[in-house]
Amino acid sequence: MEHLARFTLNWRNKTATLVLLAILLVIPLLVSNEYYIHVLITLGLFVILSLSLNLVSGYTGQLSIGHAAFYGIGAYVTALLMLKLNVSFLLALPASGLVTAFFGLLLGLPTMRLAGDYLAIVTLGFGEIVRLVLLNWDKVTRGPMGLPGIPAPELGTYIFMSKTPFYYLVLVLALLTVLAMRRIVNSGFGLSLIAVSQDELAAEAVGINTLRCKISSFIISAFFAGVAGGFYAVYISFVSPDSFTFMDSIMVLEMVVLGGLASIPGSIIGAVVLGLVPELLRFMAEYRMLIFGALMVVIVIFKPDGFWSARKRTRNAIMKDLVARNMLDGKTVKPRGEVSESA
Amino acid sequence: MEKLLNRGVKSVKVLDIQNVTIRFGGLEAIRDVSFSADEGQLLAIIGPNGAGKTTIFNAMTGVYQPTVGQILFNGKLINGLKPNQLVTMGVARTFQNIRLFSALTVLENVMVGSQCRSREGLWGALAGGKKVAANRVKSIQQCREFIEIVGLTDYLDELATNLPYGKQRLLEIARALATGCELLLLDEPAAGMNAVEREELVALIRRISKELNKTIILIEHDINLVMNISEHIVVLDHGEKIAEGTPGEIRTNQKVIEAYLGSEDPLEQEVV
């Protein structure tokens, strides 16, 4: 009976995933309006950004409000590599991820001494410094004029001309991010991150190098944000400091928090909803941000844990996976709700 | 002379505290304290409130550093090492005020404990594969064994925060054992437990000591419990060691009696 239930559940989950994937794959064939595809591409970018920030702020519990800086660094690295050094996109994208990861390391270092609000101030400062450097380092970044004319990506002889290939590219990047995050979070390392966010002293006392955990999560997070930035650069083919401001950092943080901290589906839903609402309200012109603000307040009042809050943990995901693969028995465990209180 | 003889006969001490002094500014929390634990020994540290028990405990686990003196673990100097480094060497602890990862399940708490022995790391997690899975199976099975030992198997998937208080203490012990420690430090393991739970705890500590052959050092206020299970007792008062010996010797030690409010038989009083 239990087997059957498990089988049905797995089957249902798998079917749901496949259906969703199929829909995502055929959308460009059904939708001809370029604007809709553009919105979907930006949603894909938001998904990568919110997932990456979720690792630092949701799982490891380090409040960061400078995430747009990583996004910006990634974008500028790709733009500069392609414009000044004629590096191909296929090399520039991972390179921008790696360079941004290095900046993630730098921002991770202050967590040695700082936590909570104080760390948040440092990340805020980091975001502003990066923006100001981009704005004032004329020789390299051309300051407020930005870097125009970033060439379209080429895969072999194929050149990205319309929005459709960009859509598929961002889809692949977003799916890779989801997969990577899932593996990271559902591992011993992922458990260590949650342990660090819960109680650092206890984490140290069971042998976790908390500093290394925090820095690692900043590095991974920055890597993905940098890749998203690299994609943005070639997609828009123009980068300027205006695109990576404090407000963008806040926006991504809102996606993570309203989606539900430490929840992968939460971050995705948060990115989709908060990415979509301003577009849907576009008919209201300048009033839309007003409505947007009011909506946020309503959400926080009625859904304080987010749209898809990290549900109460039950069976550990690693164990679940191993049981599903018949590598481990799940017998010794009583089903939930049968726990008797013997005092 | 005595030291030389000891060195010749006995094996290396698991833990050797040599003339340790710990100062916080002008306050001397621990003054020139020395004692040691042999392999497999069950040693208790007792003393009135403020005697410095937890301070010396924190020095053993790397939270504080001795101002003067040395702490040796298996003959190696461990002054200056961080708590997480000590855990990987084989020193694990529990806390006086329970510090579990409350949002994680019972199994996950223990898995976090076993994490320091796993060599999976981030790349292993990302790559996945058969070998990683096989290691995870082994690790989870070990964790379940530790959970079995402390008797929490029925609660495997329960959140740590939902456990009754006494069971939370047991979970902390399982988590410490999962680190693969050789030396287990228990900071007031019986605090807040009722009589039945205490009895179970005594049985458990005995089992860990005898069957798993761990060296155990515990701080405890419950004198009955201490006299009942420990093989060796160190008594601290005002940061100094005032006595050391078997439970029988401590029971009759005049200095110890004085330290405990100077009453005729303090040990009886403490029991309540």
DSSP labels for A140-178?
A: HH-GGG-EE-PPPPEETTEE--SHHHHHHHHHHHHHHHH
Pairwise CB contact (< 8 Å): B125 & A341: no
In angstroms, the CA B218 to CA B176 distance is: 13
Ordered DSSP codes for A231-296: HHHHHHSEE-GGGS-HHHHHHHHHHHHHH-TT-HHHHHHHHHHHHHHHHHGGGGGGGHHHHHHHHH
Average pLDDT along chain B: 86
B 42-81 → A contacts, CB under 8 A: 61, 63
For residue B11, what are the contacts with CB-CB under 8 A and spacing of at least 6?
B38, B39
Verify whether the Cβ–Cβ distance A206 to B88 is below 8 Å.
no
Neighbour-count burial of A16, counting CB atoms closer than 10 A to its CB (0-12 exposed, 13-18 middle, 19+ buried) = exposed
- Say what the pLDDT of residue A6 is: 58
Nearest Cα to Cα of residue A235 among A164, A185, A181: A164
Measure in Å the smallest separation between the Cα of B188 and chain A Cα atoms: 16
pLDDT at position A318: 86
pLDDT of residue B252: 85
Residue of A188, A194, A206 lying closest to B120 (CB–CB): A188
Q: Of the given ranges (A9-13, A168-172, B30-34, B136-140), which has the lowest mean pLDDT?
A: A9-13
Are A184 and B125 in contact (CB < 8 Å)? yes
A116: left (phi over 0), alpha (psi -120 to 50) or beta: left
Question: Mean pLDDT, to the nearest integer, of A26-34?
Answer: 86
The domain locations on chain A are 1-30, 35-245
ipTM: 0.86
Could you tell me which residue, A119 or A312, shows the higher pLDDT?
A119
pLDDT in tens, A14-23: 888 899 899 9
pLDDT tens for A131-183 read 999 999 988 889 888 899 898 888 877 888 888 889 999 999 999 999 999 99
Q: What pLDDT is recorded for position B112?
A: 93
Least Cα separation, residue A210 to chain B (angstroms)? 8
> What is the β-pairing status of strands B42-46 and B215-219?
parallel
Q: Which of A8, A29, A42 is nearest to A232 (CA)?
A: A42
Residue B5: what pLDDT? 47
Question: Three-class SS string for A258-272?
Answer: HHCCCCHHHHHHHHH
Between the alpha carbon of residue B31 and those of residues A195, B36, B44, B50, B68, the distances in Å are 35, 16, 19, 13, 9
What's the mean per-residue pLDDT of chain A? 87
Q: For residue A277, is pLDDT > 50? A: yes
CA B176/CA B216 separation, integer angstroms: 12
- Tell me how many degrees the CA angle B83-B88-B91 measures, rounded to the nearest 5: 65
pLDDT value, residue B248? 86
Per-residue pLDDT, averaged over A320-335, amounts to 72
CA proximity to A184, closest of B115, B112, B127, B116: B127
Q: CB–CB of A173/A228 below 8 Å? A: yes
Residues 185-204 of B with CB under 8 A from A: 194, 196
Report the percentage of chain B scoring pLDDT > 70.
Answer: 92
**Residue A156: CB atoms within 10 Å:** 6
Domain segments of chain B as ranges: 100-180
Banded pLDDT at B222 (limits 50, 70, 90): confident
Quote the pLDDT of residue A5: 60
| pLDDT, position B122 | 84
Sort out which chain B residues have CB atoms less than 8 A from A312's CB and list them. Answer: 159
Rounded mean pLDDT, B125-135: 85
pLDDT at B261: 57
Q: Please tell me whether residue B23 adopts helix, strand or coil conformation.
A: strand
Judge: A191–B159 Cβ closer than 8 Å, yes or no: no
- Kindly state the percentage of chain A with pLDDT values over 90: 50
CB contact under 8 A, A322 and B136: yes
Q: Do B140 and A318 touch (CB under 8 A)?
A: yes
Residue B23's DSSP bridge partners are B28
**Residue A34: pLDDT band by 50, 70, 90 thresholds?**
confident
pLDDT per residue over A47-84, tens digit each?
A: 999 999 999 999 999 999 999 999 999 999 999 999 99
- Interval B21-25 mean pLDDT: 91
| pLDDT confidence tier of residue A9, bands split at 50, 70 and 90 | low
Length of chain A: 343
